[in-house]
Amino acid sequence: MKDVKELASSYKRRPLCPHYRPQLSKPWQPSSVWKLFPRLTQAIHFAKTCKEEVHVFALEKHPEKKQRIYLVTTYIELWFYYSKHYKTSLMHCYEVIPETAVCKLYFDLEFYIPTNPEADGKQMVTDLIEFVCKKLDEYYEVKCSAEDILNLDSSTEEKFSSHLIFQLHNAAFKNNIELGNFLKIIFQPAILLTKNEDVVVQEKQVASVSQCYRATTDDGNQMMAKDESQSWQVNAHKEVGKETSHSKKNSDISFLIVNGKQRGKQLFVDLGVYSKNRNFRLYKSSKAGNCVILDIAEDNKFVPKPAKNSCIEEQYFFSSLICNVRNGLFPDLSLKLERWLGGKTMISPCSASSLAIFCFEYTHE
């Protein structure tokens, strides 16, 4: 009897987790797929062979060795276990962004506080959101505001750290490489300033930047060219601190430049996260060896719309997934590609950048 009580007490302290089992009464629940692989290539290959719409995630286990194992599962099954174990076995979890996957616009923002004592992280985030929303409207005629952007924070006393995930209305980027190319174009003036410590840009550099911003619009058989360079020219002769019309253009992007850990100039925006099969930390996860989770920021203005059969935490989780452009809250949604915004393709020395426009329709399979 004593042993039974002790066992019952043990289960009460550490209850057994129920297994994920899709129910007939919940037709949106996919079949169970939960498979681990030691190598990313193996996980990606397996994911391509699955009938269910699965995705790849990375689990960080050993912070010293920086080893990761790879999980293939569906969004819904991941949430089933993640919501119960994000503080234990799934506490260091990352979304793998496949190189060919359509993705949301996202940012990884950071700076070291000791080397930037005057920096106001919240204001910088506000300025960045305003800047990017303006450029999305200019280049793609896509409207968005702070209310459409999930703002996550994992800052410490030493480092400001934030993730922004844009919830664009029926729009997403072709892949994160194209997204990175687009951002390099719109941030090019700031990138040049980080490479010139005297904050002076040469005439030739300005010319090359100007060439990046010629957009072409294809309206049926008629081609129209629109030169966007005027709004993007970097001041070639004046320093940023001087009150001139050119320096005001520089000041619009000067907030992007921060001091690095070793005092060198760098961008507030990490442009290294737009690479092949990038791992991007999940909402509520922390880095291995660190207890600070990625959580809703104090200044976050995005609130998911109420959804049937879904709690608010689940909605935030699905909204935070970079490749969840089909809206994981509604698995019965069928995604139909309306058109690529190829009629307004960016032409630049970097690469062409394309935005996808999607039309969502309700269908019952």
Which is more confidently placed, 250 or 183? 183
Which amino acid appears at position 140 of this protein? Y
Record the pTM: 0.76
Task: Give, in order, the Cα–Cα distances in Å from 175 to each of 81, 240, 278, 322, 352.
Answer: 28, 34, 11, 10, 12
Reported confidence tier of residue 363, pLDDT bands at 50, 70, 90: very low
10 Å CB burial of residue 100 (0-12, 13-18, 19+) is exposed
pLDDT digits (tens, 9 = 90+) for 100-148: 899 999 999 999 999 999 999 999 999 999 999 999 999 999 999 999 9
pLDDT in tens, 38-67: 999 999 999 999 999 999 999 997 766 678
- State pLDDT tens for residues 292-340: 999 999 999 999 988 887 899 999 999 999 999 964 333 332 333 333 3
Contacts 24+ apart (CB under 8 A), 123-129: 123/255, 124/255, 124/268, 125/151, 125/162, 125/164, 125/297, 125/299, 126/299, 127/255, 128/164, 128/255, 128/256, 128/268, 128/269, 129/164
At 26, which amino acid appears? K
Q: Looking at residue 244, what is its pLDDT?
A: 40
* Predicted local confidence at residue 154, as pLDDT: 98
- CA dist 268 and 108 (Å) reads 9
pLDDT at 86: 74
Q: How far is CA 151 from CA 122, 276, 300, 330, in A?
A: 10, 24, 5, 22
Torsion angles phi and psi, residue 218, rounded to 5: -105, 110
What is residue 28's predicted lDDT score, i.e. its pLDDT?
73
